[in-house]
Amino acid sequence: MNQNLKLLISESEIADIVKQLAQQIDKDYVNRSPVVVGMLKGSFIFLADLIRQIQTPIKNIELFRLSSYSNATVSSGEVKMLMGLSDGILSKQDVILVEDIVDTGLSTSMALQLLKAQNPASLKLCALLDKPARRRVSVKIDYLGMTIGDRFIVGYGTDVKEQYRQLPAIYVLEE
């Protein structure tokens, strides 16, 4: 691939952000045991790091998969469910949805709707990155790592055409 990557958030900056998010979650979930739901694929590395920083006992970890950027750097606008959650698994639970990035907001808002339909006791959103410039639907982020500008990023689980997920830091893709 003939693409330039420019470092945006280093490994150590990511580690600091993840620790701070885990601390906020620990503070809010005293005497509660949340179910953490990761949205695949993008959040898998963030999720793995975040849960290892959370001290609060986690009741369950669930994963599901939506996709809207099949081969592009612009949202298709159509969010597809590729792997769902078991029925009722979130009922009466304190649920935290973990996202890598909220961009147009379409994926996250659909995910939140799907989770809400299971009647959780509470539902919060933790997102590593927020890109408000391209927002199409409003999304409330309860635990936010960092706001970024209108650039397409890759690394730390995020991809373009499935590439670069393995990079330990976050880069801006300059084509």
- The residues carrying an active-site annotation are 103
Q: Which stretch binds ligand PRP (CB under 6 A): 12-20, 45-53, 104-112, 115-123?
A: 104-112
- Candidates 29, 46, 64, 69; binder of ligand HPA (CB under 6 A) is 69
Position 164 contacts ligand HPA (CB under 6 A): no
Give the bridge partners for 130, in sequence order: 102, 147
Residue whose CB is less far from ligand PRP, 29 or 153:
153
Shortest separation between residue 158's beta carbon and ligand PRP, angstroms? 6
Position 101 contacts ligand HPA (CB under 6 A): yes
3-state SS assignment for residue 45: helix
Question: Choosing among ligand PRP, ligand HPA, none, which partner's interface includes residue 105 (Cβ < 5 to 8 Å by kind)?
Answer: ligand PRP
- Candidates 46, 64, 143, 152; binder of ligand HPA (CB under 6 A) is 152
Token pair for 157: 């689980």
Shortest separation between residue 175's beta carbon and ligand PRP, angstroms? 17
Distant-in-sequence, close-in-space partners of 134: CB < 8 Å, separation ≥ 6 = 75, 103, 104, 150
- 131 CB neighbour count, 10 Å cutoff: 19
- Candidates 8, 95, 108, 173; binder of ligand PRP (CB under 6 A) is 108
- 144 CB neighbour count, 10 Å cutoff: 17
Position 153 contacts ligand HPA (CB under 6 A): yes
Token pair for 10: 């280093």
CA separation for the pair 148, 101 (Å, rounded): 10
Query: Which pairing describes strands 153-154 and 94-102: parallel, antiparallel, or unpaired?
Result: unpaired
Q: Which stretch binds ligand PRP (CB under 6 A): 11-19, 47-55, 84-92, 93-101?
A: 93-101
The phi and psi torsions of 57 (rounded to 5 degrees) equal -65, 130
CA separation for the pair 95, 83 (Å, rounded): 18
Site residues for ligand HPA per CB under 6 A: 69, 101, 103, 152-154, 158
Site residues for ligand PRP per CB under 6 A: 39-42, 67-69, 75, 99-108, 159
